[in-house]
Amino acid sequence: MNRKIIIGSSIVLILDQLSKIIVDLTLNLNESINVIKNLFNITYIHNYGAAWGILKDKTFLLTIMSIIALIIIYRYSNTFIINRRNKLAFSFLLGGITGNLLDRLFLGYVRDFLDFNIFGYDFPVFNIGDSCIFIGVILLMISIYKKDDYEVKSRRK
């Protein structure tokens, strides 16, 4: 795997874990601080499921899914041309997934705190790792759509 992807994913992981530690030390569970009225709060919750609360209390399944996702990303990252977009995509994906995986492994839940209400829709509370996963998926979809950013390498030599 490319050295810059490893460095990038390490930075994402550190930012994710550091932000969660700061929120954990600063707020009580379910406490909320209004940052921008009617738009953004920092609300500390424990998420025992995945996005939008799906697979609640399925920590073991989500842990296995995260490990499989990391293996697949590692395995197929070498089929993509190493350009800035793909380095960012893989860095964001690996760092974000690893951050949430560490929470699940050591705490049994994921620490979430970014709470947005946009145009009356109260988004599920999420974290930096979740944001990076989302951005990484979008960047990877762009690369796949463009088709010139990845190459299928033959298994035969």
- For 118-128, the pLDDT digits (tens) are 988 999 999 99
> Residue 150: what residue type?
Y
Clarify whether 130 is annotated catalytic.
Answer: yes
- For 127-154, the pLDDT digits (tens) are 999 999 999 999 999 988 887 666 654 4
Which residues partner with 80 through β-bridges?
150
Would you state the pLDDT for residue 155? 44
Half-sphere exposure of 100 (CA within 13 A, CB side): 33
Strand 40-47 to strand 32-36: parallel, antiparallel, or no bridges (unpaired)?
Answer: antiparallel
Clarify whether 16 is annotated catalytic.
Answer: no
Would you state the pLDDT for residue 136? 97
> Residue 98: what residue type?
T
Radius of gyration of the chain, Cα coordinates, nearest whole angstrom? 17
Which one of the listed residues 103, 112, 115, 149 is annotated catalytic? 112
Enter the pTM of the model: 0.90
Q: How many CB atoms lie within 10 A of CB 84?
A: 9
Residue 102's pLDDT band (cuts 50, 70, 90):
very high
Which one of the listed residues 16, 103, 115, 130 is annotated catalytic? 130
